[in-house]
Each structure stands twice: as C-alpha cells, then as structure tokens.
C-alpha cells in the first residue's frame, strides 16, 4: 500500500514559533511512518521556507533546500528549488503545526485552500473568527453560551470607570502573550501598551471568578470526540502557558489536573458546552476549547485554540490520552478527517 504523503509545516513567524517547533517534535515521535511519508517544511522566524529532515536540532540554521507551497492548482504541492531547477513534490494532505499569527488566523489555511490540498484543522472563516476573541464572544453568545464582559480598547475605555480587576489582552494572540491583570486605573495604560506589542486590537475583559477548565475536541459537525476535562489550579497570578523558564518541568504557579476533580455531571456539562462552542464557531478537525467554571455552575467561554499546542506538556494530548486516545491515534484520526471528512 502506498504511503500517504503528509506535508508537515512548522515554525512560523509568530511569537509562538518555539512552541510550534516543540509540537512538531512530538508529531515526529508519534506519526506512524509505516502509513505516512512525512515532508517537513520548516518556516524560520524570518519567514523563509525550508525543506528539512525534521524539526530536530539545527533545522533552522543548517543548509536546507528552499521550498514553496504552490497556490496554483495546475501544479499543486511543494516546489523545491535546487541547483537552478524546480522539483515538484505532490502531497496528499498537509498538517499545519503552527500556532498564533499566520498559523491559526486563516492565513495559512487560505494558502492551502488555494492550493486545493486537503489540510488538518479549521478552515479560513473559523480560524479567523476563533483567533479574534471579541468576535468569537459575539458569535458564541448568540448561540446561548455565556461569555466574559469585554470591550475593545478606545480612548474612551482608558477614561472609563471599569470594574477592577480586569484583564488586558491582545484580541488576536495566544499563549497569554501580552496579557496583563490590572488592579487599578494607574496600571491600565502600560497594560494596553504591552498588549499592543502583539496586536493593534486590544481588549479589556472583566475578571471571571472561577476556575479555568478545558476540553479537547476532535471531529466535524455532529460527529465529535471529546477528551477528559482538565482543570487549572493557581497558587497565584494567572495561567501563563508556554512562558515558563522551563515549561517541561512544570509551571511556577499552576497545576493542571486531568481528569478534572469535578462531579461527573459538571464534567459532562463542560464537555457539552465545549461541543456547542466548537459547532457555533464552525470548527472542524480539532481544537481546544478553554472555559471558565463559576461556583454557581455557569460555564463561560475563555478562548478557542484552533491548532492547540501538541508538546509533551500540552493540555490537548493529555486530555485525549485520559480519554483513552493516544497521540498517534489523534494524529491518525485528524488526518483521516482532512482526507475523508469522517473520523475513521
């Protein structure tokens, strides 16, 4: 049987470049090479595309062949440049292991749509919608799911009588980059300035009193698989995933428990809410839905990661593993979804 040719894109120009590389390394450890033939496309932090042997040490600095992904459907696939010649490598499917800007915002998905090559994960509209928290809140609220109170920053916002504490965050970023907890008006301007380093659109969001919970989702439409719910316990501050000095050894202020130490009915409510959010936002393939659980049992949307971290310490694979689905199984089913539209 011929192997499925999988183009695996990783790296990228966003602040989440290092996380993407770690996610790709986990993919390399778990992808079934008896079934799949991987083609590794690394995007350097400067934006150069390189065909390499994988996301191992030195991939970004070594000598690799320049490569592009053709948007021309008459010659789809990878165009590799070497010695003044162009080699075309056809692909059956693409796995875009990219996080944040130009990875989860619809940009890469748009290129893949033009190419006509099937790809794993959310499409252009849902990617663009989910990465913008204020737009996602609007859509999800219209579907009957609770969301935090937030406003887009304007000059009037800075002069407003806000209900502190609030969180100031980039509207279209991830992994807590540029996020600040603000306790009073004297901290607001500097927090907005910090957020604008990552996005020109900034939100001020009322703090939610409750715990953070999450749910891994895999599938399309009504045919969804969910992982076990996880729960984040904080000793101080707020959850700042991927920004620890040594995240592999654990967090400085948080513990993630999976399955969450919650009653079965509450875990089921969180899972059902995650599925409702996933469908309302038009997600497909896979996503991690992050939520808040209040003491009165209300579940609110926090954010949706349309291509969640897949590192050794990431939440998505741990939630799926707790539900009995190995990372190799997740990859296999995600690729199957991209090729057939169904979990097989």
Catalytic site residue from 36, 119, 313, 316:
313
Instruction: Note if 202 is an active site residue.
Output: no
Catalytic site residue from 5, 17, 22, 79:
22
Catalytic site residue from 17, 99, 267, 315:
99
Catalytic site residue from 242, 267, 284, 333:
242
Cα 47 to Cα 245: distance, rounded to the nearest angstrom: 25
Instruction: Note if 151 is an active site residue.
Output: no
**Contact between 12 and 19 (Cβ < 8 Å):** no
Catalytic site residue from 19, 80, 145, 208:
19
**What secondary structure letter does DSSP report for 197?**
T
Residue 217's beta-bridge partner residues? 226, 287
CB atoms inside a 10 Å sphere around CB 154: 11
Instruction: Note if 242 is an active site residue.
Output: yes
Residue 87's beta-bridge partner residues? 80
Instruction: Note if 6 is an active site residue.
Output: no
> From edge to edge, which strands make up the β-sheet containing 77-82?
85-89, 77-82, 65-70, 49-52, 36-43, 4-11, 93-97
Question: H helices within the chain, ranges in order?
Answer: 17-30, 107-115, 124-131, 133-142, 155-159, 188-195, 264-280, 315-322, 327-340
Catalytic site residue from 288, 315, 318, 333:
288
Residue 168's beta-bridge partner residues? 180, 204
Instruction: Note if 198 is an active site residue.
Output: no
Q: Measure Cα distances from 85 to 7, 42, 65, 154, 243 in Å.
A: 21, 20, 11, 52, 42
Cα 98 to Cα 108: distance, rounded to the nearest angstrom: 9
Catalytic site residue from 6, 77, 309, 335:
309
Cα 202 to Cα 197: distance, rounded to the nearest angstrom: 10
Instruction: Note if 79 is an active site residue.
Output: no
Catalytic site residue from 63, 156, 248, 295:
248
**Contact between 278 and 287 (Cβ < 8 Å):** yes
**Residue 323 in tokens:** 């539900």
Residue 8's beta-bridge partner residues? 40, 95
Residue 245: strand, helix, or coil: coil
Find tokens 């789809």 and name the residue: 76
Residues known to be catalytic = 19, 22, 99, 242, 248, 288, 309, 313
């Amino acid at each position: 049987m011929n192997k499925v040719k999988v183009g695996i894109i990783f790296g990228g120009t966003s602040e989440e470049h290092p996380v993407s590389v770690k996610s790709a390394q986990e993919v390399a450890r778990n992808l079934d090479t008896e079934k799949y033939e991987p083609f590794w496309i690394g995007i350097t932090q400067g934006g150069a595309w390189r065909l390499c042997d994988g996301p191992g040490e030195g991939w970004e600095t070594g000598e690799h062949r320049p490569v592009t992904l053709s948007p021309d459907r008459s010659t789809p696939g990878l165009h590799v440049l070497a010695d003044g010649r162009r080699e075309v490598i056809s692909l059956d499917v693409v796995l875009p292991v990219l996080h944040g800007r130009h990875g989860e915002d619809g940009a890469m998905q748009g290129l893949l749509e033009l190419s006509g090559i099937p790809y794993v994960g959310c499409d252009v509209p849902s990617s663009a919608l989910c990465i913008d928290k204020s737009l996602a809140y609007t859509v999800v609220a219209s579907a009957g799911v609770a969301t935090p109170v937030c406003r887009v920053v304007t000059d009037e916002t800075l002069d407003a009588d806000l209900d502190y504490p609030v969180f100031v965050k980039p509207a279209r970023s991830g992994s807590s980059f540029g996020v600040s907890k603000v306790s009073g008006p004297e901290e607001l301007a500097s927090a907005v300035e910090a957020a604008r380093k990552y996005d020109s659109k900034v939100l001020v969001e009322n703090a939610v009193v409750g715990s953070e919970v999450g749910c891994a989702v895999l599938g399309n439409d009504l045919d969804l698989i969910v992982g076990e719910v996880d729960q984040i316990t904080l000793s101080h501050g707020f959850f700042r995933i991927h920004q620890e000095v040594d995240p592999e050894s654990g967090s400085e202020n948080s513990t993630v428990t999976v399955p969450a130490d919650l009653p079965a009915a509450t875990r089921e409510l969180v899972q059902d809410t995650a599925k409702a959010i996933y469908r309302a936002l038009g997600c497909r393939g896979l996503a991690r839905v992050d939520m808040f659980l209040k003491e009165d049992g209300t579940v609110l949307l926090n954010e949706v990661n349309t291509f969640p971290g897949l590192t050794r310490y990431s939440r998505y694979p741990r939630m799926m593993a707790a539900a009995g689905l190995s990372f190799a199984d997740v990859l296999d089913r995600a690729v199957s979804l991209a090729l057939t539209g169904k979990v097989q």
